[in-house]
Structure 1
Amino acid sequence: MNIAILSVTNQGKEISDILFENLKDNPLILNVSQYHKNIISTINDIFDKYDCIIGIMASGIMIRSIAPHVNSKLSDPAVLLIDDNANFVISLLSGHFGGANDLTLKIANILDSTPVITTSTDVNNKTGIDSIAKRYYCSLENPKNIKFINRALINNHIVDLYLPHKYSFILDDNVNKSYSIHFDDDYDSIVSVIDDHEVILKPKQMVMGIGARKDILTSKVKNAINQACSILEIPVSRIDFFATADVKEHEKGIVDNINELNKDLIIIPMDDIKSYQNDECSKSDFVMKQFGVKGVCEPTALIANGKDSHLIFKKTAYDGVTIAVSLKD
């Protein structure tokens, strides 16, 4: 995720600095940029370039600035609004599919502020179908029907949710309370239906790249995988494939974990990693010295996932293990 923080006053800039320091090392955030003043021209330049825009200013300034650019809940960035005293953090735009509601809760926790969320499903303790899609990294088909599904949930009508057993990872207490669940392996997607209105969710391909020191303990690899998935707020079963470099192909600590999870381990040749160019990949001086490549976990996650994939979890080290996760668009 790429985040832009905009401020107007000196007080707002101090809040921006606090957020920058708290967000820059978050594995889920690839880049945090700060902008001060010149709000209208800045938003004109960046609106379609960031996944989230956080404005620290009066609501009128922010609303007038983003208004010409607002297009669709499925493509607009998440937009959050914070007042100059950081009393409130408001989810302003793209609360569900853009992730603004979840981000509002996290930012409010950093600033010790009151989160403000106004989407009807959330305030009625229901899980919108677009919230499920966002939380578990799914594409959406028939998005025009989202309103029928979510409206039915709000009105306490029974909404059917059909899914194959392999996608049971989406079920949690809130989903179970909001939907009538039906397991059916004849489906190859997650399908939500109310009357004649259907919304289809297809989990996007997710690959976890793993790097590790020689003779790494199996328990350390397991801990790294679990910690990364905990930060992503997904079960390990949501990962479709794992990947590593050919020099780690027989690393017992890696292989044992993948076998236990009953997943496939994709092996990427070092020559492919050496020639791979992607600005999302960071550089490790240690790995460059040892193997002549910038890194292992990030490029293997991206190469294994193919073209049109991007990082959603940047390289993070866990006691001798490095983890990165890519998602196919």
Structure 2
Amino acid sequence: MKQSFAVVAITKHGTALARKLHAQWPSVDVYYSKKFLHGDEETLGIVAFDESVMQLLPKLFTSYEGIISIISLGAMVRMIAPLLKDKKTDPAVVVIDDRGNYVISVLSGHLGGANELTRTVAQMLKATPVITTASDVSETIAVDLLGRNLGWEIEGFDQVTRVSAAIVNEEPAVVIQESGERNWWTYNKPLPSHIHVVRHLDEAKDEQYHAALWITHRVLTEKELTACSPAAVLYRPKVLVLGIGCNRDTTADEIERVISDTLATHQLAMTSVRNVATIDLKAHEPGLLSVCTTHHWPLVTYTAAELNEVPLVHPSETVFRYVGAYGVSEPAALRSAKAQDWLIEKVKSGNVTLSVCLVHVTD
């Protein structure tokens, strides 16, 4: 395995299609039967196999994000059936007919990206894409994908199927968006009329909906989450910036504890953190870097002069004497988030100071 996607063919015409795809998309791994060798496979990095494709597929299934098979749909379904585990982990599977007329999304259409892969391959082959996912066909909200291209995370999948059914069946649904990017609707048409978008629960709590989609950085109570509908899905946009100041050699454990305790106290979701911001003097602080690495948070740094450009309510002469800035956590958070105010101005605990801002998002 070298790439994210594999193309598999077992017939003469399928081999020709696989080579055509490879010519347009070199970043795929191609596998086809040794019976159809062209002699340039080693040069092109193509794998010619002599084993049964039934022996090959289990290896590919666990090694690639997506499999593009030029095999009949029925045969492919039978071969992958014993390999299926979970839609969150199974790879995307796409089938192309032997003449390249149709490209069919077979498995993991949404979470695995098979629908998108189908469109990409169909465009390359000038073929017809076949996608049967209801939300795609209806051009409505794909509940399990909403905001994924923006970095949003779904917190809990248990209600996704129920909410998806309400959306595709055009039952009344509400989107309660308290934070995050507002350009999540990607179709070139108005949002369906059965979907109502509000900014706060108060705008919707007097109504009853078949489904609710919450987009928020706040930790919700069960009562809040289900106030509009018992079928509710929660999305976490990346909208919190953590401004952090710390003494030299502060441990990752201490920094982690201050972050988790502070966010919990203020009912803010850890999964909504976008990045950490600090002064450039702390760019290589081991404990801080460890925490950022653990959570996959980018670390943004500013010079003392840049931090001093941010007006502070409580500038610190003590901090200025040590680092040349009148504050670290507060101005770093404010500047990185492009915000006007803090959600949490400053918490001082042991060797750590923490400030939290909500990212400014334009409509």
Bin of the TM-score, shorter chain as denominator length = 0.5 to 0.7
Q: 1:139 aligns with which of 137, 140, 153?
A: 153
Per-residue CA deviation, residues 14-36 of structure 1 (Å, 9 max, x unaligned), is 21122223223xxxxxx521122
Identity %: 27
Q: 1:197 aligns with which of 204, 216, 231?
A: 231
Q: Is the 8 A contact 1:163 1:188 kept in 2?
A: no
Relative contact order, CA 8 A, sep 6+: which one is greater? 1
Say if 1:267 and 1:166 are closer, same or farther in 2 by CA, change over 3 A: farther
Q: 1:182 aligns with which of 170, 177, 198?
A: 198
Q: 2:32 aligns with which of 31, 36, 40?
A: 36
Separation in structure 2 between the aligned mates of residue 190 and residue 82 of structure 1, nearest angstrom: 45
Partner of 1:318: none
Say if 1:36 and 1:174 are closer, same or farther in 2 by CA, change over 3 A: same
Say if 1:58 and 1:172 are closer, same or farther in 2 by CA, change over 3 A: closer
Separation in structure 1 between the aligned mates of residue 188 and residue 136 of structure 2, nearest angstrom: 11
More displaced 10-residue stretch of structure 1: 129-138 or 32-41: 129-138
Partner of 1:12: 14
Q: For residue 11 of structure 2, what is the amino acid of its counterpart?
A: T
Separation in structure 2 between the aligned mates of residue 267 and residue 3 of structure 1, nearest angstrom: 40
Q: 1:100 aligns with which of 114, 125, 134?
A: 114
Partner of 1:161: 175
Q: Is the 8 A contact 2:185 2:191 kept in 1?
A: no
Query: C-alpha displacement at 1:50, in angstroms?
Result: 1.2
The SS at the match of 1:166 is coil
Note if 1:53 corresponds to 2:53: no
Which of the two has greater strand per residue? 1
Q: 2:141 aligns with which of 127, 137, 158?
A: 127
Partner of 1:253: none
Say if 1:195 and 1:308 are closer, same or farther in 2 by CA, change over 3 A: closer
Separation in structure 1 between the aligned mates of residue 131 and residue 279 of structure 2, nearest angstrom: 41
Q: Is the 8 A contact 2:180 2:237 kept in 1?
A: no
Separation in structure 2 between the aligned mates of residue 133 and residue 34 of structure 1, nearest angstrom: 32
Where in structure 2 are the equivalents of 1:300-311 lying within 5 Å?
306-307=293-294
Query: C-alpha displacement at 1:97, in angstroms?
Result: 1.2
Q: For residue 32 of structure 1, what is the amino acid of its counterpart?
A: V
Query: C-alpha displacement at 1:131, in angstroms?
Result: 2.7
Separation in structure 2 between the aligned mates of residue 18 and residue 266 of structure 1, nearest angstrom: 52
Q: Is the 8 A contact 1:81 1:91 kept in 2?
A: yes
Separation in structure 1 between the aligned mates of residue 127 and residue 167 of structure 2, nearest angstrom: 29
Say if 1:190 and 1:2 are closer, same or farther in 2 by CA, change over 3 A: farther
Separation in structure 1 between the aligned mates of residue 93 and residue 280 of structure 2, nearest angstrom: 39
Query: Larger C-alpha radius of gyration, 1 or 2?
Result: 2
Query: C-alpha displacement at 1:184, in angstroms?
Result: 4.2
Q: For residue 198 of structure 1, what is the amino acid of its counterpart?
A: A
Say if 1:150 and 1:270 are closer, same or farther in 2 by CA, change over 3 A: closer
Separation in structure 1 between the aligned mates of residue 28 and residue 291 of structure 2, nearest angstrom: 27
Q: Is the 8 A contact 2:101 2:127 kept in 1?
A: yes
The SS at the match of 1:60 is helix
Per-residue CA deviation, residues 120-147 of structure 1 (Å, 9 max, x unaligned), is 1222221211132544343323313111
Q: Is the 8 A contact 1:189 1:201 kept in 2?
A: no
Query: C-alpha displacement at 1:89, in angstroms?
Result: 0.3
Q: Is the 8 A contact 1:87 1:113 kept in 2?
A: yes
Q: Is the 8 A contact 1:77 1:93 kept in 2?
A: yes
Q: 1:62 aligns with which of 59, 62, 76?
A: 76
Say if 1:175 and 1:46 are closer, same or farther in 2 by CA, change over 3 A: farther
Which of the two has greater helix per residue? 1
Say if 1:16 and 1:159 are closer, same or farther in 2 by CA, change over 3 A: same
Where in structure 2 are the equivalents of 1:179-258 lying within 5 Å?
179-184=195-200, 187-188=216-217, 195-203=229-237
Q: For residue 55 of structure 2, what is the amino acid of its counterpart?
A: S
Say if 1:143 and 1:96 are closer, same or farther in 2 by CA, change over 3 A: same
Partner of 1:23: 25
Say if 1:78 and 1:174 are closer, same or farther in 2 by CA, change over 3 A: farther
Q: Is the 8 A contact 1:87 1:114 kept in 2?
A: yes
Say if 1:266 and 1:128 are closer, same or farther in 2 by CA, change over 3 A: farther
Q: Which runs of 5+ in 2 are unaligned?
A: 34-51, 202-214, 240-273, 297-363
- Give TM-score, length-normalised by structure 1: 0.57
Say if 1:7 and 1:173 are closer, same or farther in 2 by CA, change over 3 A: closer
Q: For residue 146 of structure 2, what is the amino acid of its counterpart?
A: I
